[in-house]
Amino acid sequence: MSFSLIQKYNVPGPRYTSYPTVPYWDETTFSVEIWKETLIKSFNESNAAEGISLYIHLPFCESLCTFCGCHKRITKRHEVEHPYIDAVLKEWAMYCELLPQKPIIKEIHLGGGTPTFFSVDNLERLINGILSKAEKAKVYEFSFEGHPNNTTRLHLQKLYDLGFRRVSFGVQDYSEKVQTAIHRIQPFHNVAKVTFWAREIGYTSVSHDLIFGLPFQTLDNVIDTIEKTKSLGPDRLAFYSYAHVPWIKGNGQRGFKDEDVPKDDEKRKLYEVGKKLLASKGYHEIGMDHFALADDRMYMAFKEGKLHRNFMGYTASKTQLMIGLGVSSISDSWYAFAQNEKELEAYYARLAQNELPVFRGHRLNEEDLIIRKHILNLMCQFDTSWQNDALYFEGLPEVLVQLHEMEKDGLLVISQNKVTVTEKGKPFVRNICMAFDLRLKRKTPETQLFSMTV
């Protein structure tokens, strides 16, 4: 990949887990009542046909990883578990009272924070409490994020017994120097142990999260990490670009200097070499930063054009309605987004007043809905089309100007009202999506809101 392309396209940009992106939500057209209306509309359209998804945010961590930009609460006091699960179950009960019939759950994902911060008993109480007010879809997928240092065999067994078949372990990098810089010390044998346990218990999909571009990370580090990862044979891999966003409050990313972080051509080489190595190990690229073996369900969904992307990332279990439970969680009714209170105390206070703890959101207009489909297509299939009149929008000529420029650079091909991302263009898919992002174009941010795209 040429350095000139990196210089040209390495700009701040969204990761497009939603459109519009959170900084561009129009809160003047949103209210909790509007959220409830779109929630019920979406539920009525989709519950019987496909079920709903639940994302449950479990925010506690015992220590701060300095690469992390997620909402979390650092504590070693495990007495926080019980009241938090009480609050999440109360929030779920409030949603169930709003819904016209019993929800059918197709997908549950436990994210964090550190879900395995919670005891086995409390996780069991949480899931049983959720399922007591719902039915499981005939085909469902329950997944969770596990920390290799504190995920016990009992955690894995109990969650398996509750219906979980997919687990994702955060690895990042195996270099001791890198791990020290990001305050995430976890030896290879810890990752190997939990991976082998998951296999023995019967999990059908084990995923490892790797990151390139971390402070002090070298090409040899990336190669060593991928070689070690392949020896454990995870079904899926996320190979993320490190998002250096030190301006986000509370993420601790001032624990190392800016000059310690690989940039531009140096960082891109980490990705290019890593991507080729993953391909040689049998991993297929299935979307931005994601890879899977040929027999994994995620790869099959990609090949069948059924891959979906939402606030949980990529998923093979597409649902129109996703309800987010817990502090800072984001819900998606397709027609609107709603985010919960980001501070734990405010989240508890709203629930104590018998209110949904939603503090902001966005109602999508007709243009938003069309552009959202294009960006989803690009992120999940590496192509999109406006041959169907329903996918044409007034701002498209403006978009095409930028797309033609990208076509000259070999990042995509435009043919018969369709755009297809090339192999050369896949690392720049965020930039291609930005061409469709009319809200971003109409209001360029005055300060940096997003991580760099390359």
Q: What is the pLDDT of residues 279-323, one digit of tens each?
A: 999 999 998 889 999 999 899 999 998 898 888 788 887 899 999
Please state the rounded mean pLDDT for residues 223-251: 82
Give the C-alpha separation, 335 to 29, whole Å: 12
Please state the rounded mean pLDDT for residues 69-98: 89
Q: Which of 272, 275, 246 is nearest to 260 (CA)?
A: 246
CB 443 within 8 A of CB 453: no
- Can you give the pLDDT at residue 247? 44
Q: Band of the pLDDT at 361, cuts 50, 70, 90?
A: very high
Does an H or E element contain 56, and which? strand 52-58
pLDDT: is 250 or 136 the higher one?
136
Q: What is the 3-state secondary structure (H, E, C) of 324-363?
A: EECCCCEEECCCEEEEECCCHHHHHHHHHCCCCCEEEEEE
Q: Band of the pLDDT at 131, cuts 50, 70, 90?
A: very high
- Can you give the pLDDT at residue 258? 78
**Sequence-distant (≥ 6) Cβ neighbours of residue 29 within 8 angstroms:** 362, 363, 365
Classified as helix, coil or strand, 375 is helix
Give the C-alpha separation, 427 to 273, whole Å: 13
CB 90 within 8 A of CB 351: yes
- Can you give the pLDDT at residue 383? 95
Type of residue numbered 326? G
Q: How far is CA 424 from CA 171, 179, 284, 299, 382, in A?
A: 27, 31, 15, 20, 12
CB 205 within 8 A of CB 317: no
Least confident of 4-8, 194-198, 225-229: 4-8
Burial label, 142 (beta-carbon count in 10 A; 0-12, 13-18, 19+):
buried
CB 432 within 8 A of CB 378: yes
Please state the rounded mean pLDDT for residues 168-193: 93
Classified as helix, coil or strand, 309 is strand
Matching residue, tokens 């650079």:
409
Give the C-alpha separation, 241 to 238, whole Å: 10
Least confident of 238-247, 289-298, 327-336: 238-247
- Can you give the pLDDT at residue 60? 79
In this model, does residue 365 exceed pLDDT 90? yes
- How many alpha carbons lie under 13 Å from residue 136 in its C-beta half-sphere? 12
Token pair of 52 as six digits: 């709903």
Please state the rounded mean pLDDT for residues 49-66: 85
Percent of the chain with pLDDT over 70: 92
Cis bond upstream, residue 112 (ω within 30)? no
Q: Which of 151, 102, 161, 168 is nearest to 312 (CA)?
A: 168
pLDDT: is 287 or 351 the higher one?
351
- Can you give the pLDDT at residue 452? 67
Question: What backbone torsions phi and psi does residue 61 show, to the nearest 5 degrees?
Answer: -135, 145
- The Cβ of residue 446 has, within 10 Å, a number of other Cβ atoms equal to 6
- Can you give the pLDDT at residue 79? 92
Q: Which of 330, 346, 239, 349 is nearest to 283 (CA)?
A: 239
Q: What angle do CA 45, 51, 52 make, to 5 degrees?
A: 95
Token pair of 133 as six digits: 């007010």
CB 264 within 8 A of CB 10: yes
Least confident of 124-128, 150-154, 252-256: 252-256
Give the C-alpha separation, 276 to 238, whole Å: 14
| DSSP designation for 12 | B
- Can you give the pLDDT at residue 255? 59
Please state the rounded mean pLDDT for residues 248-252: 50
- Can you give the pLDDT at residue 449? 52
CB 363 within 8 A of CB 29: yes
DSSP strand pairing (284-287 vs 290-292): antiparallel
User: Is the pTM value of this prediction over 0.95?
Assistant: no
Token pair of 77 as six digits: 């006091």
Give the chain's mean pLDDT: 90
Query: Cα 74 to the chain's mean position, in Å?
Result: 21
Q: Band of the pLDDT at 349, cuts 50, 70, 90?
A: very high
Token pair of 55 as six digits: 């994302």
- Can you give the pLDDT at residue 332? 96
Please state the rounded mean pLDDT for residues 93-114: 95
Q: Which of 390, 409, 405, 398 is nearest to 437 (CA)?
A: 398
Q: Band of the pLDDT at 453, cuts 50, 70, 90?
A: low
